[in-house]
Amino acid sequence: MSAASSARVTRRSQRGSLLALNETNPLVPYLFLLPHAVFFLVFIVYPVAFGFYVSVHQWDLLSGNSPFVGLKYYAQIFDPSSPQSQFFWRTLLNTAFFTVVSVPLLVGTALGLALLVYRPIFGQNIFRAIFFMPGILSVSVMGILWRWMFDNQSGLINVIREQFFGQAVIQFLTTEGWAWVPIIVGTVWWTIGFNMTLYLAALGGISQSYYEAAQLDGAGPWAQFRFITFPLLSPTTLFIAVTTVLASFQLFGQSLVITGGGPTRSTQSVIQYITEEAFGNNQQSSAAAMAFLFGALMLIFTGFQFRLMAKDLRSSGKDG
């Protein structure tokens, strides 16, 4: 492999030019880093700083006159008399509710599904493909599908309830409380395949010898799961739980497409509210302040994810 490819490589004269890609040039690594670094600084680092700048000014897109206002917009979020405060905390609570309900579902059902399809069975690959498939659809397709499934009058769910079980129609999309059902069911349907696939990969990494030893000791299927599978999956479970919490807190498209955030903001996510403040009410500064506060609250979880990845990095760095 290397012989074949290095045969195509020609020897170059080792001149000291700063653009030459040879080992004597100390700038080579930086030349490699440069293209990504430019985009990284312009589109990731700068916007964070600029966002903070916007949040402490009274940004006005039209006049271009944007006076410094200090922490006014941050204070506003904590002032109970302002509508911004009311809506921010309300939608944050909505998002937290969604997270608390959906994360155990998304982790638990994914594990159950993975255990169901892990052992060989007729049509195993087809089942795996089917369970993963919804995840590739865009959020708008997924949302339109589930809005139709839970339609107040003619949705499949209501029709089945009415026709086969004689139940009265539930106005899922416009009833406070019930409106969460299509959002949560749709989200589980949409994202469970990712988590299932992660669990399947982890299950494949568990040595069969543990199970053989346990069988010799007379352990039944439940004992094997309880004392072998589950403990050995715990790093995966932790990873899945953290990433799923992060994804759930970023709820946006599902509730926007399925319920529009209604009725009366009862399913509006905090991100939807922030975008409404920024683009609907044209209050970019207020929205930027909310985004920063939300980002700071999220730091608890994003920091945790960061630590998990850093750990992964250290353990793999040894051989590199």
Partner 1 sequence: MALTVQGSTPRVIKRQQRPTWLMDAPRFVLLMILALIFLAPIYWMLSTSFKPESDAIATPIQWLPAHPTLDNYTEIINSPDGKLWRWTFNSVFTALAFTLAHLTLCVLTAYPLARLKFKGREAWFWIILSSLMVPGIVTLIPSYIMMLQFNWIDTYHALIWPGVAGVFGVFLLRQFFVGIPLELEEAARMDGANSLQVLIYVILPLSVPALVSLAVFAFMGSWNNYVWPLYVATSPDMQTLPVGITSFSQRYVTEYGKLMAGTAIAAIPVLIAYLAAQRYLVSGIALTGMKD
Please give the C-alpha separations between residue 34 and each of 16, 43, 171, in angstroms, as whole numbers: 20, 14, 55
HSE at residue 219, side-chain half, CA atoms within 13 A, is 17
Q: How many residues bind partner 1 (CB under 8 A)?
A: 120
Q: How far apart are CA 130 and CA 112, in angstroms?
A: 15
Between 144 and 232, name the residue whose CB sits nearer to partner 1. Answer: 144
Spatial distance between the Cα atoms of 310 and 312, rounded to a whole number of angstroms: 5
Rounded least distance, CB 11 to partner 1, Å: 4
Binding mask 155-184 for partner 1 (x = CB under 8 A): -x--xx-xx---------------------
Nearer to partner 1, 81 or 88 (CB): 88
Instruction: Kindly state whether residue 5 participates in binding partner 1, applying the rule CB under 8 A.
Output: yes
Nearer to partner 1, 75 or 313 (CB): 313
Q: Which of 7, 18, 19, 168 binds partner 1 (CB under 8 A)?
A: 7
Shortest distance, position 130 Cβ to partner 1, whole Å: 5
Binding mask 206-235 for partner 1 (x = CB under 8 A): ----------x-------------------
Least distance from C-beta 309 to partner 1, angstroms? 7
Among 16, 19, 39, 67, binds partner 1 (CB under 8 A): 39
**Partners of 68 in beta bridges:** 57
Q: Taking the complex as a whole, how short is the minimal distance between the CB of residue 54 and partner 1, in angstroms?
A: 6
| Distance from C-alpha of 235 to C-alpha of 200, rounded to nearest angstrom | 13
Q: Please list, in sequence order, all residues whose beta carbon lies within 8 angstroms of the beta carbon of residue 102, skipping any fewer than 6 positions away.
A: 184, 187, 188, 244, 248
* Residues numbered 188-207 forming contacts with partner 1, rule: CB under 8 A: 189, 194, 197-198, 200-201, 204
Q: Does 292 bind partner 1 (CB under 8 A)?
A: yes
Q: Binder to partner 1 among 35, 67, 80, 166 (CB under 8 A)?
A: 35
110 phi and psi angles, rounded to 5 deg: -65, -40
Q: Which of residues 252-281 bind partner 1 (CB under 8 A)?
A: 252-253, 257, 271, 274-275, 278-279
Distance CA 233, CA 236 (A): 5
Query: Shortest distance, CB of residue 95 to partner 1, whole angstroms?
Result: 11
Strand stretches in 73-192, DSSP E: none
Binding of residue 96 to partner 1 (CB under 8 A): no
Which of 63, 65, 81, 153 is the binder for partner 1 (CB under 8 A)?
153
Residues sharing a CB contact under 8 Å with residue 115, sequence separation 6 or more, in sequence order: 199, 203, 225, 229
- Tell me the closest approach of the beta carbon of residue 38 to partner 1, in angstroms: 8
Written as six digits, the tokens of 100 are 């608390």
Q: Does 87 bind partner 1 (CB under 8 A)?
A: no
Minimum distance from CB of 64 to partner 1 (Å)? Answer: 10
- Cα 248 from Cα 232, distance rounded (Å): 25
Q: Are 204 and 122 in contact (CB under 8 A)?
A: no
CB of 164 to partner 1, least distance (A): 9
Q: Kindly write down the DSSP assignment for every residue of 177-213, as one continuous string.
A: TTTHHHHHHHHHHHHHHHHHHHHHHHHHTS-HHHHHH
CA-to-CA distance for 81 and 177, rounded, in angstroms?
A: 26
Q: By CB under 8 A, which span of 22-30, 73-81, 91-99, 219-227 interacts with partner 1? A: 22-30
The number of beta carbons lying within 10 Å of the beta carbon of residue 266 is 19
